[in-house]
Amino acid sequence: LVPETRVLAVASHVVYGHVGNTMATFVMQSLGCEVAALNTVHFSNHTGYRQFKGTRATAQEISDLYQGLCQSNLTDFDVMLSGYAPSAAAVESVGTIGIDLQQKAEKRPGSFFWVLDPVMGDQGRLYVNDDVVPAYKKIAPFADLILPNQFEAEVLSGIKITSLATLAEAITAIHRIYSVPHVIITSVQLFKLSQSGSTPPPPENFLTVIGSTTRSDGSPRLFRVDIPALDCFFSGTGDMFAALTVARLSEAVSAAGDNLRATKSWVSPDIVAATDLPLAQATIKVLSSMHSVLERTMESRNAELAVAVPAHNGDLTTEEQAKRDYLRQTKAAEVRLVRNTRVLRDPKIQFKVQDW
Task: Note whether 136 binds ligand PLP by CB under 6 A.
Answer: no
State the pairing for strand pair 6-14/79-82.
Answer: parallel
Site for Na ion in 41-60 (CB under 5 A): none
Q: Which of 70, 84, 82 is nearest to 42 (CA)?
A: 84
**Among residues 63, 75, 166, 186, the one that binds ligand ATP under rule CB under 6 A:** 186
CA nearest neighbour of 153 among 186, 127, 182? 186
Burial class (CB in 10 A: 0-12, 13-18, 19+), 53: exposed
Q: Exactly one of 81, 88, 101, 147 binds Na ion (CB under 5 A); which one?
A: 147
Name the residue with the smallest CB distance to ligand PLP: 238
Site string for Na ion, 320-339 (x = CB under 5 A): --------------------
> Which of the listed partners (ligand ATP, Mg ion, Na ion, none) does 294 bind, with a CB threshold of 5 to 8 Å by partner kind?
ligand ATP
Q: Which of 247, 290, 332, 353 binds ligand ATP (CB under 6 A)?
A: 290
In the stretch 109-128, what mask flags binding to Na ion with x, by CB under 5 A? --------x-----------
Question: Distance between CA atoms of 18 and 263, rounded to whole angstroms?
Answer: 34
Residue 238 contacts ligand ATP per CB under 6 A = yes
CB 349 within 8 A of CB 284: yes
Among 239, 260, 261, 340, binds ligand PLP (CB under 6 A): 239
User: Can you give the length of the chain in residues?
Assistant: 356
Residue 209 in the binding site for ligand ATP (CB under 6 A): yes
Of 45 and 208, nearer to ligand PLP (C-beta) is 45
> From CA 99, how far away is CA 101, in angstroms rounded?
6
Least distance from ligand ATP to the Cβ atom of residue 10, Å: 15
DSSP state of 229: P
Asked if residue 18 lies in contact with residue 334, where contact means CB atoms within 8 angstroms, the answer is yes
For residue 327, CA distances in Å to 53, 134, 312, 322 come to: 15, 34, 15, 9
The CA–CA distances, whole Å, from 230 to 55, 259, 308 equal 33, 34, 23
Partner interacting with residue 287 (select from ligand ATP, ligand PLP, Na ion, none; CB below 5-8 Å by kind): ligand ATP
> Between 104 and 336, whose beta carbon lies closer to ligand ATP?
336
Nearer to ligand ATP, 208 or 268 (CB): 208
Residues that bind Mg ion (CB under 5 A): 119, 122, 149, 238
Residue 41 interacts, among ligand ATP, ligand PLP, Mg ion, none and using kind-specific CB cut-offs from 5 to 8 Å, with ligand PLP
CB of 89 to ligand ATP, least distance (A): 21
Of 177, 208, 180, nearest in space to 116 by CA? 180
Q: Could you give phi then psi for residue 35, rounded to 5 degrees?
A: -115, 130
Residues contributing to the site for ligand PLP (CB under 6 A)? 12, 19-20, 41, 43, 46-48, 84, 235-239
